[in-house]
């Protein structure tokens, strides 16, 4: 901890972090009080009232990370030498959520900048991203975030970011419905991560098909896409070996599993959250889909889709925030590789006693905040025992007649070397479920009968 006396006025300094956020600063603090500036690598000036940056703004302050988002900075009030104190130090610069209409010239002087965020600024046109400034940063920039709801044309100068590995596009103007096939030209072989969200695009951009080494694609909350906008030809399918491992198509107006999934041979994690999958049926998943993790949160499902049995490698499944009221005995029987099942914040109120019998690899069962009133008796038929069962937020009835079996099962799991940890609270008594099982159940008549304990033994 650095003594507060050495910290700029209106800031706090701790663990290499100078925090001046949310203090209503209208000008940059005086950093001369920091002494040896190398002791600090991060400056947080978010959520202030900054309007200008001049040549003295960062004198004696060679930070590596600078957060300037959520201020009132305008490009015309950012001097050409505004970042003079950062030219050989800053690697991460956040200018998001300001009033910048055009990239400030001062950015040209940054020799080390690797990550830049200029999202949610009123930058409307392609020339809001001047080619000379983009070119000056092109040799070092590896991550870039931009976008706003006023942007009417794609910045062609992106092609100067020849080292770009991560691109995040957060909003486009409502009239931008299609991106050209050359949208990602310049970094087609370097880009590893792409996120495009909150747009009115009507199709997954064709240019994505050229991203040779893309590993992670998040194309979320683009509601005009619908099923017909997820084009097979928009995905990088022609490259060997296949690289795309993580895909999310959340909130894209889908009603079924996109057919392209069967062609993504390296697919590991898939998310289709917030799509009303009305037509998810046994015929919806075709081919050998390789995904091991699947998230279908808030998809309007009223039952566990039988089509999931086609996912032969599935280990993690999240069905939270759906209207699934029951888990029947055959709903999960064709998912033998499942290791983690999550059904949170759901209408779930009944689980068949045989529902988990086929899940021999299940390690974690998360049933938080459902309508269950009982610890699922289906746990009794599980071999081996799951390590974690989460019932937090459920109104569990804790009584002798309903939980004697759980005490016996818990003891059996412990003896088998696979202890089962159940978290949650009783509704009928002030106790956790775990505490009730260990403290109260041994005094129950049926438990004593089952364990031949006097005076309720068989003698």
pLDDT digits (tens, 9 = 90+) for 288-321: 789 999 999 999 999 999 889 889 899 999 999 9
Instruction: Record the pTM.
Output: 0.93
pLDDT at 4: 45
Looking up tokens 């070996």 gives 241
Three-point CA angle 303, 305, 306, nearest 5°: 125
69 closest CA partner among 97, 93, 44: 97
The H or E element containing residue 166 is strand 166-170
| Distances, alpha carbon 262 to alpha carbons 248, 267, 278, in Å | 15, 9, 20
pLDDT at 33: 79
Q: What are phi and psi of 375, to 5 degrees?
A: -65, 125
The CA distance from 285 to 259, in Å, is 7
Structural contact between residues 370 and 395, judged by C-beta atoms closer than 8 angstroms? no
Burial zone of 40 (CB within 10 Å; 0-12 exposed, 13-18 middle, 19+ buried): buried
The CA distance from 322 to 274, in Å, is 10
pLDDT at 459: 45
DSSP string, 289-350: ---SEEE-TTS--SS--GGGGG-TT--EEE-TTS---EE-TTSSTT-TT--EEE--SS---E
Question: What sign has the CA pseudo-torsion 378, 289, 305, 396?
Answer: positive
| pLDDT tens, per residue, the chain with 459 residues | 444 447 898 999 998 999 999 999 999 998 887 765 457 899 999 999 999 999 999 988 889 999 999 999 999 999 999 999 999 999 999 999 999 999 999 999 999 999 999 999 999 999 999 999 999 999 999 999 999 999 999 999 999 999 999 999 999 999 999 999 999 999 999 999 999 999 999 999 999 999 999 999 999 999 999 999 999 999 999 999 999 999 999 999 999 999 999 999 999 999 999 999 976 755 567 777 899 999 999 999 999 998 898 898 999 999 999 999 999 999 999 999 999 999 999 999 999 999 999 999 999 999 999 999 999 999 999 999 999 999 999 999 999 989 999 999 999 999 999 999 999 999 999 999 999 999 999 998 888 888 888 776 554
Contacts of 64 (CB under 8 A, 6+ apart): 41, 42, 89, 90, 91, 92
The CA distance from 141 to 164, in Å, is 6
> Residue 384, Cβ neighbours under 10 Å: how many?
14
Q: Which two tokens stand for residue 5?
A: 């006396």
The CA distance from 95 to 117, in Å, is 6
Please, what's the b/e burial string for 428-458 (b: 16 or more CB within 10 A of its CB; e: otherwise)? eeebbbbebbeebbeebebbbeeeeeeeeee
Share of the chain above pLDDT 90, in %: 85
19 closest CA partner among 62, 90, 67: 67
The DSSP call for residue 358 is T
Q: Which two tokens stand for residue 327?
A: 């888990």
Mean of per-residue pLDDT scores for the chain: 93
pLDDT at 115: 98
Structural contact between residues 145 and 168, judged by C-beta atoms closer than 8 angstroms? yes
Chain-centroid distance of CA 81 in Å reads: 37
Structural contact between residues 320 and 343, judged by C-beta atoms closer than 8 angstroms? yes
Structural contact between residues 206 and 178, judged by C-beta atoms closer than 8 angstroms? no
The CA distance from 144 to 165, in Å, is 9
Give the SS3 label for residue 238. Answer: coil
């Amino acid at each position: 901890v650095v003594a507060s006396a050495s910290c700029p006025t209106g800031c706090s300094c701790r663990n290499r972090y100078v925090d001046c956020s949310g203090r209503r600063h209208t000008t940059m603090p005086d950093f001369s009080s920091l002494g040896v500036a190398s002791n600090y690598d991060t400056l947080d000036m978010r959520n202030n009232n900054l309007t200008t940056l001049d040549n003295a703004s960062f004198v004696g302050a060679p930070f590596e990370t600078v957060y300037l988002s959520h201020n009132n900075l305008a490009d015309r009030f950012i001097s050409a030498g505004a970042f003079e104190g950062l030219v050989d130090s800053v690697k991460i610069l956040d200018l998001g959520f300001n009033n910048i209409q055009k990239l400030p010239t001062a950015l040209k002087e940054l020799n080390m900048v690797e990550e830049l965020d200029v999202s949610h600024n009123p930058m409307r046109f392609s020339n809001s991203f001047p080619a000379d400034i983009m070119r000056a940063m092109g040799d070092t920039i590896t991550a870039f975030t931009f976008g706003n709801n006023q942007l009417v044309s794609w910045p062609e100068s992106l092609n100067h970011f020849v080292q770009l590995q991560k691109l995040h596009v957060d909003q486009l103007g409502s009239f931008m419905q299609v991106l050209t096939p050359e949208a990602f030209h310049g970094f087609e072989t370097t880009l590893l991560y792409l996120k495009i969200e909150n747009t009115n695009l009507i199709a997954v951009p064709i240019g994505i098909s050229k991203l040779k080494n893309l590993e992670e694609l998040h194309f979320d909350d683009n509601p005009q896409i619908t099923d017909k906008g997820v084009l097979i030809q928009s995905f990088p399918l022609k490259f060997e070996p296949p690289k795309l491992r993580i895909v999310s198509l959340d909130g894209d107006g889908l009603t079924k599993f996109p057919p392209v999934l069967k062609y993504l041979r390296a697919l590991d994690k898939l998310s289709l959250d917030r799509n009303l999958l009305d037509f998810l049926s046994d015929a919806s998943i075709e081919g050998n889909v390789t995904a091991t993790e699947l998230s279908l949160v808030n998809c309007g499902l009223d039952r566990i889709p039988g089509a999931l049995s086609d996912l032969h490698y599935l280990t993690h499944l999240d069905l939270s925030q759906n209207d699934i009221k029951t888990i029947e005995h055959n709903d999960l029987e064709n998912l033998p590789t499942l290791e983690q099942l999550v059904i949170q914040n759901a209408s779930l109120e009944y689980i068949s006693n045989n529902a988990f019998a086929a899940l021999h690899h299940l390690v974690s069962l998360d049933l938080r905040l459902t309508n269950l009133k009982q610890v699922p008796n289906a746990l009794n038929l599980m071999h081996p025992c799951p390590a974690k069962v989460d019932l937090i937020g459920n109104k569990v009835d804790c009584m002798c007649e309903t939980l004697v079996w759980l005490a016996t099962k818990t003891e059996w799991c412990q003896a088998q070397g696979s202890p089962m940890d159940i978290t949650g609270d009783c509704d009928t008594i002030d106790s956790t479920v775990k505490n009730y099982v260990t403290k109260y159940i041994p005094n129950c008549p049926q438990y004593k009968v089952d364990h031949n304990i006097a005076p309720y033994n068989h003698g």
